[in-house]
């Protein structure tokens, strides 16, 4: 991070007049993986304190440009395999998508995210005769039914001339060795142990694994943004916490292609379980009433959608940045402002609580 410096005075401003301070990128720490002990480098001296105070950090420089190119190639190949239906259904699902998109595309919401949903949702990855993609667009030229007597193709919402793609590939680490290397990188795992204060482990779930996400803003996209939530709220009945999510950014982020919004310090609040949520999803009776590092109640109620929260900030990433954010942190993602953009990354979570308490649970409380 470093001390703020002063920007040169703009043209037309008298020499010597006060200039605007340059604000260091919030939470960014540059790592040199060639150092004998990278985590002991002076540049990372304040990383732990920043994380515990604010709930997130961005690690820059961990992966080389060549490695990132490999991650991108392998993820795109996996994405195309899901679209083509050449891999089993477990790699493509709709569990994270906007339910309104599922309605438009005529996909089955009852089995949200598992089996029979799109081209990859067939036994042994066989192609679906409907020609649907598993969780993104329909292939170009295909007509997709939307309920009785309606369909969309040219001019009806999911545009027929849009290049076909899927928004998500689950268990992408099984299809992309570079992603597996990312998810198990020794330096990242060692840092997570320090931040979470003990041994760490990834979710043993058969339902998601490491996820490759391709967010796009168009109407044909099943995912473009996500509303306020904390990751803890998705599994409030479990004692696997504390936890931390990692996100490796394949694309740099900006207002043009979307970005992360966070409320620094919110991980220290006692955030209620999502009994009140925009999707009207039931919360199990055994859910913990709140989750966080203290018993302090949040100063504001978490919005159901995308409203501004006092104290929130934007967190922008460069290609290759590794974001670590606490599972209790309040966060959301803003939709892109330009249509011809993508925001791609791979992500998963680590936990340091009771591994024996883990079971599959996903409360889809956040707005899409």
For the segment 88-139, what is each residue's pLDDT rounded down to a tens digit? 988 986 554 444 444 444 544 333 333 222 222 333 333 333 333 334 444 3
DSSP structure class, residue 166: B
State the DSSP H helix or E strand holding residue 97, giving kind and residue range, or none if neither.
none
Only one residue has tokens 């949040």, namely 298
> Average per-residue pLDDT in the chain?
79
What mean pLDDT is predicted for residues 306-317? 95
DSSP structure class, residue 137: P
Determine the CATH number of domain 28-69+167-357: 2.60.120.620
pLDDT digits (tens, 9 = 90+) for 90-104: 898 655 444 444 444
Distance in angstroms (rounded) separating the CA atoms of residues 209 and 205: 7
Domain spans of the chain? 28-69+167-357
DSSP structure class, residue 340: S
CA 302 from chain centre, in angstroms, equals: 19
As to burial, measured by CB atoms within 10 angstroms (0-12 exposed, 13-18 middle, 19+ buried), residue 221 is buried
What is the reported pTM?
A: 0.79
Closest CA to 70 of 216, 322, 250, 317: 250
| Torsion sign across C-alpha atoms 348, 354, 355, 359 | negative
The winner for highest mean pLDDT among 45-54, 145-154, 199-208, 334-343 is 45-54
CA 5 from chain centre, in angstroms, equals: 32
Only one residue has tokens 């011809």, namely 340
Distance in angstroms (rounded) separating the CA atoms of residues 365 and 368: 9
């Amino acid at each position: 991070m470093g001390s703020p410096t002063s920007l040169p005075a703009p043209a037309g401003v008298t020499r010597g007049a006060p200039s605007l301070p340059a604000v260091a990128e919030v939470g960014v720490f540059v790592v040199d993986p060639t150092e004998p002990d990278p985590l002991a480098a002076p540049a990372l001296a304040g990383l732990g304190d920043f994380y515990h105070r604010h709930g997130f950090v961005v690690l820059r420089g961990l992966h080389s440009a060549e490695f990132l190119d490999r991650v991108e190639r392998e993820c795109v190949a996996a994405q195309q395999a899901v679209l083509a239906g050449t891999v089993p259904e477990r790699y493509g699902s709709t569990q994270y998508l906007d339910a309104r998109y599922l309605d438009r595309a005529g996909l089955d919401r009852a089995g949200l995210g598992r089996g029979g949903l799109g081209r990859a949702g067939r036994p042994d990855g066989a192609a679906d005769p409907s020609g649907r993609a598993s969780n993104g667009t329909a292939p170009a030229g295909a007509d997709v039914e939307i309920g009785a007597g309606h369909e969309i193709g040219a001019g009806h919402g999911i545009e027929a001339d849009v290049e076909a793609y899927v928004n998500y590939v689950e268990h992408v680490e099984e299809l992309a060795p570079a992603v597996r290397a990312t998810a198990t990188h020794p330096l990242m795992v060692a840092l997570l142990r320090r931040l979470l204060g003990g041994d760490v482990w990834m979710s043993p779930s058969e339902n998601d694994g490491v996820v490759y996400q391709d967010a796009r803003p168009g109407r044909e996209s099943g995912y473009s943004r996500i509303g306020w939530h904390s990751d803890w709220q998705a599994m409030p009945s479990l004692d696997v916490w504390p936890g931390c999510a990692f996100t490796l950014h394949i694309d740099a982020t900006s207002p043009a292609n979307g970005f992360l919004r966070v409320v620094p310090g919110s991980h220290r609040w006692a955030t209620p379980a999502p009994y009140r949520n925009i999707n009207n999803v039931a919360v199990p009776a055994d859910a913990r009433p709140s989750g966080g590092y203290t018993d302090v109640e949040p100063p504001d109620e978490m919005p159901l959608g995308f409203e501004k929260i006092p104290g929130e900030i934007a967190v922008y990433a460069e290609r290759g940045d590794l974001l670590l954010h606490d599972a209790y942190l309040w966060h959301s993602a803003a939709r892109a402002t330009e249509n011809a953009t993508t925001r791609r990354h791979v992500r998963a979570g680590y936990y340091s609580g009771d591994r024996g308490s883990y079971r599959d649970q996903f409360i889809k409380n956040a707005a899409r």
